[in-house]
């Protein structure tokens, strides 16, 4: 693979978002080799856009940055010069804002009919909730994710341990839609408008449960089926050292292997007997308390039992399997020195990336990027004097 181009080599993406689902999506596209240009505000307006921590979203790995005042007519013209040669445009304004800036679908499609225009928002570009503010937790709540998760001690829905809506329902959703639109464009020559709703992405993630309800009238929730904790074969258990193990022995053969390894053979015929689940859980819990977590993992993981450790983040970053797979790479930042970060881990992305030199916060590739778009030195000077670029 080292001698081949990345899968998205030659694809240029303009990204107007600094955080959230859109930034997740363009991180994915950059990891597949797309040329991602982050479009940020000029410094006098920088307070209007969130600046993420230096290490987040891959620390800008494989991306360039331009600073343009989109509210200035000259700045809009500069962006349109970039749009004319771009393949993908990603924005995450509230519905209607891009249009007010003169950067809506109609305007950019006229400038570049081949452009794939992706809008990411919480609830979509239309509908009763379109202009509602929200964040990850809100979309997971609306889409049923929280209600189907094991409740907290007070009975309320849990706060998830990852931004599932931002990353999967939004970021991966947008990336899949963009890639599909690029594939269609290769056939038709036409761009596409993509209305990525994070809430609808959550619906897709929850489709097994939603479809069960629609087809049968059942009310999925904690403990309602095998995937939400109804049975002892799919649960978490504490080990002797207070650390936890995850058990996912859904298939009969795996469950039988686990029962034998734990000395619980008597329960093999009762895997899905609802009347015996409390007894099976108690037997498993007692057995797991007999050894430390990592001792159990060493014994059970290779034995077709579907057992894994419940890692803290500080543990998973040193896991030998992830290390062997090249999951983490290095970056270097002037103030913070060398640090590790999650690499391009999705299938097919290039993992042989060099150490990423994180540019300083005020670094900009504006001149170089606009020159490549065809702007001459005189135009760049006038734009800078007018405060439209930086």
Residues catalogued as catalytic:
135, 166
Integer Cα distance of 178 and 193 in angstroms:
9
For residue 233, count CB atoms less than 10 angstroms from its CB and return exposed for 0-12, middle for 13-18, buried for 19 or more.
Answer: buried
Beta-bridge mates of residue 197 = 121
CB contact at 8 A, 17 and 48: no
State the burial class of residue 271 (Cβ atoms within 10 Å of its Cβ: 0-12, 13-18, 19+): buried
- Helix (H) or strand (E) segment spanning residue 280: helix 277-288
User: Encoding tokens for residue 151?
Assistant: 């409740």
What is residue 383's three-state secondary structure? helix
Contact 109, 115 (CB under 8 A): yes
Residue whose structure tokens are 């249009």:
99
Instruction: Tokens for 293, please give them.
Output: 């977590």
CA distance 349 to 31: 6
DSSP line for 315-354: HHTT-HHHHHTT-EEEEEETTTEEEEEE---STTS---PP
Structure tokens at 57: 């979203």
Best CA proximity match to 70, nearest among 35, 50, 40, 36: 40
- How far is Cα 90 from Cα 21, in angstroms, rounded to an integer? 10
**Which token pair is 167?**
């990353």
Write down how long the chain is: 390
DSSP 246: E
> How far is 164 from 357, CA to CA, in rounded Å?
29
The pairing of strands 116-121 and 192-197 is parallel
> For residue 165, how many other CB atoms are within 10 A of its CB?
30
Whether the CB-CB separation of 259 and 249 falls below 8 Å is answered with: no
């Amino acid at each position: 693979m080292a001698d081949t181009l990345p899968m998205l080599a030659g694809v240029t993406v303009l990204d107007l978002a600094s955080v959230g689902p859109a930034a997740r999506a363009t991180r994915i596209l950059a990891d597949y080799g797309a040329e991602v240009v982050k479009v940020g505000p000029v410094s006098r307006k920088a307070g209007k856009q969130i600046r993420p921590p230096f290490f987040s979203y891959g620390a800008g790995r494989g991306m360039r940055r331009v600073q343009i005042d989109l509210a200035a007519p000259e700045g809009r013209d500069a962006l349109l010069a970039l749009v004319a040669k771009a393949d993908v445009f990603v924005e995450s304004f509230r519905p209607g804002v891009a249009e007010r800036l003169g950067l809506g679908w109609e305007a950019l499609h006229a400038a570049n009919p081949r452009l794939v225009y992706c809008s990411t928002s919480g609830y979509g570009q239309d509908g009763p909730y379109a202009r509602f503010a929200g964040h990850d937790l809100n979309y997971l709540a609306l889409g049923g994710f929280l209600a189907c998760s094991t409740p907290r001690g007070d009975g309320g829905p849990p706060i998830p341990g990852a931004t599932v809506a931002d990353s999967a329902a939004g970021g991966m959703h947008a990336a899949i839609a963009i890639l599909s639109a690029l594939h269609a464009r290769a056939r038709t020559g036409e761009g596409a408008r993509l209305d990525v709703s994070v809430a609808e992405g959550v619906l897709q993630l929850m489709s097994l449960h939603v479809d069960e309800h629609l087809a049968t009238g059942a009310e999925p929730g904690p403990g309602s089926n095998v995937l939400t904790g109804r049975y002892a074969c799919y649960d978490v258990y504490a080990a002797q050292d207070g650390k936890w193990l995850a058990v996912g022995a859904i298939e009969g053969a795996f469950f039988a292997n686990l029962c034998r390894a734990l000395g619980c053979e008597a329960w093999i015929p009762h895997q899905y007997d609802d009347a015996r689940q409390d007894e099976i859980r108690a037997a498993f819990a007692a057995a797991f308390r007999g050894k430390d977590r990592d001792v159990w993992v060493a014994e059970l993981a290779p034995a077709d039992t579907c057992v894994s450790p419940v890692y803290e983040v500080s543990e998973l970053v040193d896991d030998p399997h992830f290390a062997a797979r090249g999951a983490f790479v290095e970056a270097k930042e002037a103030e913070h020195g060398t640090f590790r970060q999650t690499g391009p881990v999705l299938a097919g992305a290039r993992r042989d990336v060099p150490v990423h030199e994180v540019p300083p916060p005020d670094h900009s590739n504006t001149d170089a990027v606009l020159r490549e778009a065809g702007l001459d030195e005189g135009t760049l000077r006038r734009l800078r004097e007018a405060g439209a670029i930086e």
